Amino acid sequence: MAQTHLLGLLSDFGLRDGYVGVMKAVMLSIAPDARLVDISHEIAPQDIEGGAWTLGMAWRSFPVGSVLLCVVDPGVGSARRAVALVAHGRVFVGPDNGLFTYPLDDDGSGEDAAPRCVSLDDPRYHLPTPSATFHGRDIFAPCAAHLASGTPLAELGSVVDPATLVRLPIALRPRREGDVWVARVAHVDHFGNLITNIGAELTRRALAHPLAHISLAQREISARASHFAAGPQGEPLFLQDSSGALAIAVRDGSAAQTLGAQRGDEVMVRGLADAEDAC
Amino acid sequence: MAQTHLLGLLSDFGLRDGYVGVMKAVMLSIAPDARLVDISHEIAPQDIEGGAWTLGMAWRSFPVGSVLLCVVDPGVGSARRAVALVAHGRVFVGPDNGLFTYPLDDDGSGEDAAPRCVSLDDPRYHLPTPSATFHGRDIFAPCAAHLASGTPLAELGSVVDPATLVRLPIALRPRREGDVWVARVAHVDHFGNLITNIGAELTRRALAHPLAHISLAQREISARASHFAAGPQGEPLFLQDSSGALAIAVRDGSAAQTLGAQRGDEVMVRGLADAEDAC
Amino acid sequence: MAQTHLLGLLSDFGLRDGYVGVMKAVMLSIAPDARLVDISHEIAPQDIEGGAWTLGMAWRSFPVGSVLLCVVDPGVGSARRAVALVAHGRVFVGPDNGLFTYPLDDDGSGEDAAPRCVSLDDPRYHLPTPSATFHGRDIFAPCAAHLASGTPLAELGSVVDPATLVRLPIALRPRREGDVWVARVAHVDHFGNLITNIGAELTRRALAHPLAHISLAQREISARASHFAAGPQGEPLFLQDSSGALAIAVRDGSAAQTLGAQRGDEVMVRGLADAEDAC
């Protein structure tokens, strides 16, 4: 039996216009057995950072061998490169504009081979006469489908040094200033949860220390919970989100609305040193 | 050839954040041949009643043997049970919070075996180290995928008496008060149609009797039609919806907007007795 | 190995209510190996023109042999015909209300056999006792699935002359008035791009002639670009869209918002004759 690869899709195309369906029709024409899985097509238009975060959250759930097609591409048709990147056993396909910042900066589990990358410049794997405005259909979708069908990476174009790929100039991890950790809201989700760039270990420490608290929007948040329903109604709390990060939430409500917060807002973790002193 | 099971998905996750894609990647890693069908992921956040209604409308269209994964789960991580329920030949997987009220209360077609239920408490069928905030990914999706792959229900956890499952405290059927049937708007759909909890038989009687009329929001509705385009423009009418229920609609418009109505509003069927007297 | 047909879906059902999932469950019960691809379910309610345009943009990307199920159907249950149309090697299934205007009026590549059409009036291919309000589930989905499974067109009902099918009374191409081409905005997409009914050849001429300009909403647009990122920030420009048509866009912005424009607005191409004089 031929192996069936998962092919994840992420874009800012929305679901109204039919652009996503067109990409899928192109892919299934080339790779009829590929299993397509939508990650999101509701990334805000041209929001590369939002696309990068969402991909960063999702890619680990796709098994090794999956292809992840990502098209948030305001530079379509310009000199920005179109690339396929193998990292952590998955293949990432899309424009070289920072979308792959999170998997590129992930130090991995130690088991990873070095990333490899090509520029998608071999027209044999494109649709004939590609447009200058819809590389999702004309270049990325067919290349992703060929990769999912087993075409080797090196066939698709010339080698690119992964170190030259664009990374977003955003802080992926908090910085320490004395006793304070300065972090940021990395994503506001559909429920209004504020997901920060505070990683699993620091989150566990903050949850464990009674004196630790979070500052956001001139508000101190010291309530914490192991899960949403353990929190008080209507009051912001912090917890460990399913990715391991520290998130700020309101039970049965929206932390974003309650706090007037948005992506990029500064979040500080304070009191950890006091807490440790108190131990 | 191995049998391919349908695996229907319903949640309040929305389509923007990638949470649904993550659940699908998990499921297809376990059950690569499962056919995934989205029912809805746009249930309002934490709206168990909306999720229950939508599942209640949809499940009969899924063939016997299908698995229906339902995650509207404000209590994730709390003591609420995670369950798999076999009823009407389908397997319903999700939190025990009332989502399964409609299939549980359906008297069925007489062909049904008694429902069976287990608590999803065997960690062998979960992802390793489940989070406390995303059981959709860590417990429900893998259990649903194992069920779709043919793992017997009893493997997944300890037996639960289906009679102990949570049912929503909403009226699934109208009550009679003298000559009046008191019903409610059970769902407002995308078109603004108001779908009531008035079942097929009473709906047919109301449509058949010229003196019958519907009261809603201090308005009397006596116009009726067999289908939308048979109605007058702009004026509310009642008809039999595709599930058999009585629905209030406005041709090429929104009854919800025209009438300022919403889910839970009281709807009365009057005039049936007069109509019968007049026969 | 049995051939796997693509089955594209387009509707105005939205994604919230579960109606699309119900159609898919019906289809996969009949044609378990069909590959379903959503084109769009967010056509505005009852917007036949919007559905027709979106289908017109998308159908060419579906390989020959695909079935395209289209349900924007305000006339459901009325005397409007339910049809299946073979044209350009694809099968279009839906109500006869103008949805198929674009493929019907496409002169094709010369390779096409004459279109063939049937009325879906053979109840053997419907669900038992179809409703009068949801032919998507009861008639169109099962017929589309039977066609995708290889049932010959002629089995599904009586022959219809394709010349009698409803076409939308909209101008699919611009008209010439002296030196001016009078066109219209045919679609406003998710990014706010204004896609006109100006075809590939006239678009190329306008892009090539420095004196050519576009009038829309009392504004003259003479900036043009080969792709979005080549345009100035914030200023409307015209370019060739991925379907070949002339589109008006704003780099990293919304032309619809900037210009206050909407579908149906008049667009004029001027200056082509001057440009040619100047050559």
Residue-wise pLDDT tens digits, C171-223 = 889 999 999 999 999 999 999 999 999 999 999 999 999 999 999 988 999 99
> pLDDT-based confidence at B2, cuts 50/70/90?
very low
Residue B223 lies in a domain: yes
Predicted pLDDT at B113 = 77
Shared-domain flag, residues B39 and B159: yes
In chain C, the percentage of residues whose pLDDT exceeds 70 is 95
Predicted pLDDT at C273 = 77
Shared-domain flag, residues B135 and B256: no
The total domain count for chain B is: 2
In chain B, which ranges are E strands?
A: 6-11, 35-40, 67-71, 82-87, 90-95, 116-119, 159-160, 175-177, 180-188, 194-196, 213-216, 219-221, 236-240, 246-250, 266-270
- How close C14 gets to chain A, by Cα (Å)? 9
Q: What is the pLDDT of residues A95-114, one digit of tens each?
A: 999 999 999 998 765 556 79
Which of C190, C238, C240 to probe by mutation at the A interface, max A CB count within 10 Å?
Answer: C190
Domain C-terminal end among B169, B189, B205: B169
CATH number of the structural domain spanning residue B239: 2.40.30.90
Residue C278 lies in a domain: no
Of B17, B29, B133, the CB nearest to A40: B17
Chain A residues whose C-beta is within 8 A of a chain C C-beta are 13-22, 24-26, 28-29, 32, 45-46, 74-78, 80, 131-134, 137-138
> pLDDT-based confidence at C1, cuts 50/70/90?
very low
- To the nearest 10 degrees (0 to 180), the angle between helices C19-30 and B48-58 is 30
What does the block give as tokens for C131? 């409703």
Q: Residue C278 pLDDT > 70, yes or no?
A: no
Please tell me the least confidently modeled range out of A107-116, B27-36, C249-258. Answer: A107-116
Pairing of strands B67-71, B6-11: parallel
Reference C248, options C201, C276, C206; nearest CA is C206
What is the spatial distance between Cα C40 and Cα C58, in angstroms, rounded to a whole number? Answer: 10
Residue A190 lies in a domain: yes
Predicted pLDDT at C29 = 96
Nearest CA in chain C to B249: C133
Q: Residue B258 pLDDT > 90, yes or no?
A: yes
Q: What is the pLDDT of residues A189-222, one digit of tens each?
A: 999 999 999 999 999 999 999 999 999 988 999 9
Q: Residue B274 pLDDT > 80, yes or no?
A: no
Q: Which stretch of DSSP H or E encloses residue B167? A: none
pTM confidence score:
0.95
Segments in C31-180 forming alpha helices (H): 48-58, 101-105, 135, 141-148
- How close A242 gets to chain B, by Cα (Å)? 5
Please tell me the least confidently modeled range out of C8-22, C42-56, C65-79, C99-113. Answer: C99-113
Predicted pLDDT at C279 = 45
- How close C164 gets to chain A, by Cα (Å)? 28
Range of the domain at A57: 6-169
Predicted pLDDT at B27 = 98
Shared-domain flag, residues B225 and B265: yes
Mean pLDDT of chain B: 93
What is the spatial distance between Cα B34 and Cα C32, in angstroms, rounded to a whole number? Answer: 11
What is the spatial distance between Cα A238 and Cα C146, in angstroms, rounded to a whole number? Answer: 53
Shared-domain flag, residues C205 and C78: no
List of residues 6+ apart from C211 with CB closer than 8 A: C271, C272, C274, C275, C278
Give mean pLDDT, residues B173-202: 96
Q: What are phi and psi of B48, to 5 degrees?
A: -60, -40
B25:A226 CB<8 A: no
Nearest CA in chain C to A13: C190
What is the spatial distance between Cα C100 and Cα C49, in angstroms, rounded to a whole number? Answer: 10
Q: What is the pLDDT of residues B59-98, one digit of tens each?
A: 999 999 999 999 999 999 999 999 999 999 999 999 999 9
List of residues 6+ apart from A143 with CB closer than 8 A: A82, A84, A93, A120, A125, A126, A156
Residue B275 lies in a domain: no
Q: Which residues of B touch C37 (CB under 8 A)?
A: none
Give mean pLDDT, residues C129-140: 96
Q: Which residues of A touch C4 (CB under 8 A)?
A: 32
Shared-domain flag, residues B86 and B25: yes
Burial of B138 (0-12, 13-18, 19+ CB in 10 A): buried
What is the spatial distance between Cα C259 and Cα C192, in angstroms, rounded to a whole number? Answer: 10
Shared-domain flag, residues C162 and C204: no
B75:A229 CB<8 A: yes
What is the spatial distance between Cα C60 and Cα C71, in angstroms, rounded to a whole number? Answer: 19
Amino acid letter for position A218 = Q
Predicted pLDDT at C2 = 43
What does the block give as tokens for A24? 């899928």
Give mean pLDDT, residues C237-264: 96
Shared-domain flag, residues B220 and B107: no
Q: Residue B260 pLDDT > 90, yes or no?
A: yes
> pLDDT-based confidence at C113, cuts 50/70/90?
confident
Q: Which residues of C touch B42 (CB under 8 A)?
A: 14-16
Residue C246 lies in a domain: yes
What is the spatial distance between Cα B251 and Cα B230, in angstroms, rounded to a whole number? Answer: 8
Give mean pLDDT, residues A175-189: 96
Shared-domain flag, residues B36 and B63: yes
Please tell me the least confidently modeled range out of A90-94, B231-235, B237-241. Answer: B231-235
List of residues 6+ apart from A62 with CB closer than 8 A: A6, A8, A37, A68, A90, B25
Give mean pLDDT, residues B251-274: 93
Residue A279 lies in a domain: no
Burial of B109 (0-12, 13-18, 19+ CB in 10 A): exposed
Give mean pLDDT, residues B216-225: 93
What is the spatial distance between Cα B235 and Cα C106, in angstroms, rounded to a whole number? Answer: 39
Domain C-terminal end among A169, A199, A232: A169
Shared-domain flag, residues C165 and C234: no
Segments in chain B forming alpha helices (H): 19-30, 48-58, 101-105, 135, 141-148, 200-208, 255-259, 272-278
User: SS3 of C177, please?
Assistant: strand
Residue C90 lies in a domain: yes
- How close B256 gets to chain C, by Cα (Å)? 14
Residue B278 lies in a domain: no
Reference B181, options B277, B268, B274, B276; nearest CA is B268
Reference C241, options C187, C176, C182; nearest CA is C187
- How close A259 gets to chain C, by Cα (Å)? 28
CATH number of the structural domain spanning residue C74: 3.40.50.10790
What is the spatial distance between Cα A239 and Cα A224, in angstroms, rounded to a whole number? Answer: 6
Shared-domain flag, residues B71 and B187: no
Shared-domain flag, residues B162 and B214: no
Domain C-terminal end among C124, C145, C169: C169
C247 CB-side CA count, 13 A: 29
Shared-domain flag, residues A17 and A80: yes
What is the spatial distance between Cα C167 and Cα C160, in angstroms, rounded to a whole number? Answer: 15
Which subunits have 3 or more CB–CB pairs within 8 Å of chain B? A, C
Mean pLDDT of chain A: 93
- To the nearest 10 degrees (0 to 180), the angle between helices C141-148 and C19-30 is 40
Cβ atoms of C33 and A50 closer than 8 Å? no
C60 CB-side CA count, 13 A: 16
